[in-house]
Amino acid sequence: MGEPAASATTRVSTFVLMIIFITLALSLTALILAINAFSYGNEVVAGYLLLIGFIGVALSTYVLLQSKRRIKSLKIETPPVTTIIECGKCGFKNVREFNRGDYVFKEVESCQKCNENMMITAIYREVREKEKGFSL
Amino acid sequence: MIGLVNMLPLQVQLLQFLGGDTLSQVLSIVFYVIFIVFLFYGQRIQMYVMLREVEGSLYKLKYMRDGGRKIAIDTIKEIGKPQTDPSGRVDRLLDYFTISPQSLDPAGVVWKLEHILDVRDVRLKDEVKLMAPATDESQTNNLENTLEVAMTLNYIYKVIRHFYLMGKKTLSLYIIMQLQMVLPLIMREAEAFASALKAFAYGQPIGDGAGALVAAKIMHGHEIRKVPKDNVVASVPIEGRTAFVIKAEGPGGNVGKTGDAVKTIIDENEGKIATIIMIDAAMKLEGEEVGEVADGVGAAIGGPGVDQFKIEESILKYKIPINAVAIKEDIGDNVSPMCKEIFDAIDKAIERVKQVILERTKEGDNVIIVGVGNTIGIGQ
pLDDT of res. B351: 94
pLDDT of res. B13: 57
- Structural domains in chain B, sorted by start: 47-202 (no CATH), 207-371 (3.40.50)
State which residues form the domain around A61. 14-74
Candidates B146, B219, B339, partner chain A, best to mutate (most A CBs within 10 A): B339
Q: Say if residue B229 is preceded by a cis peptide, omega within 30 of 0.
A: yes
Among B379, B333, B362, which Cα is nearest to B221's?
Answer: B379
Residue A45 sits in the same domain as residue A30? yes
Of B67, B202, B380, the CB nearest to A1: B67
CA closest to A100 among chain B residues: B202
Distance from C-alpha of B184 to C-alpha of B56, rounded to nearest angstrom: 12
The rounded mean pLDDT for chain A is 81
Contact B340 A32 (CB under 8 A): no
User: CA–CA distance from A15 to each of A11, A19, A24, B181 (Å)?
Assistant: 11, 6, 14, 30
pLDDT of res. A79: 80
Residue A66 sits in the same domain as residue A107? no
Distance from C-alpha of B189 to C-alpha of A6, rounded to nearest angstrom: 21
Neighbours of B122 (CB within 10 A): 10
Residues of B in contact with A79 (CB under 8 A): 337
pTM: 0.80
Residue A66 sits in the same domain as residue A89? no
pLDDT of res. B158: 95
User: CA–CA distance from B265 to each of B47, B107, B165, B311 (Å)?
Assistant: 58, 26, 52, 11
Distance (Å) from the C-alpha of residue A103 to the closest C-alpha of chain B? 4
Residue A24 sits in the same domain as residue A64? yes
Residue A135 lies in a domain: no
Candidates A48, A81, A89, A126, partner chain B, best to mutate (most B CBs within 10 A): A81
Residue A38 lies in a domain: yes
pLDDT of res. A9: 58
DSSP string, A7-59: TTTTS--HHHHHHHHHHHHHHHHHHHHHHHHHHTT-HHHHHHHHHHHHHHHHH
Residue A87 sits in the same domain as residue A110? yes
Residue A97 sits in the same domain as residue A51? no
pLDDT of res. A43: 84
Residue A96 sits in the same domain as residue A52? no
Residue A55 sits in the same domain as residue A32? yes
Contact B380 A102 (CB under 8 A): no
Contact A106 B70 (CB under 8 A): no
Residue A130 lies in a domain: no
Share of chain B above pLDDT 90, in %: 51
Residue A65 sits in the same domain as residue A88? no
Is A1 part of the contact surface with chain B (CB cutoff 8 Å)?
Answer: yes
Of the candidate ranges A2-6, A77-81, B214-218, B246-250, the one whose mean pLDDT is the lowest: A2-6
Specify whether the CB–CB gap between B372 and B301 falls below 8 A: yes
Residue A69 sits in the same domain as residue A20? yes
Contact A81 B204 (CB under 8 A): yes
pLDDT of res. A6: 46
Distance (Å) from the C-alpha of residue A69 to the closest C-alpha of chain B? 11
Residue A36 sits in the same domain as residue A69? yes
Residue A28 sits in the same domain as residue A56? yes
The predicted-structure confidence for B312-327, as pLDDT tens digits, reads as follows 999 999 999 999 999 9
Contact B343 A128 (CB under 8 A): no
Give A132's pLDDT tier (boundaries 50, 70, 90). Answer: low
Give A130's pLDDT tier (boundaries 50, 70, 90). Answer: low
Residue A9 lies in a domain: no
**Length of chain B, in residues:** 380
ipTM over the 0.85 cut-off: no
Is B17 part of the contact surface with chain A (CB cutoff 8 Å)?
Answer: no
Residues of A in contact with B378 (CB under 8 A): 103-105
Regions in chain B scoring below 70 on pLDDT? 1-21, 23
Share of chain B above pLDDT 70, in %: 94
Burial of B368 from C-beta contacts in 10 A (0-12 / 13-18 / 19+):
buried
Residue A114 lies in a domain: yes
The predicted-structure confidence for B222-259, as pLDDT tens digits, reads as follows 998 998 888 999 999 998 999 999 999 978 888 889 99
**Count of the separate structural domains present in chain A:** 2
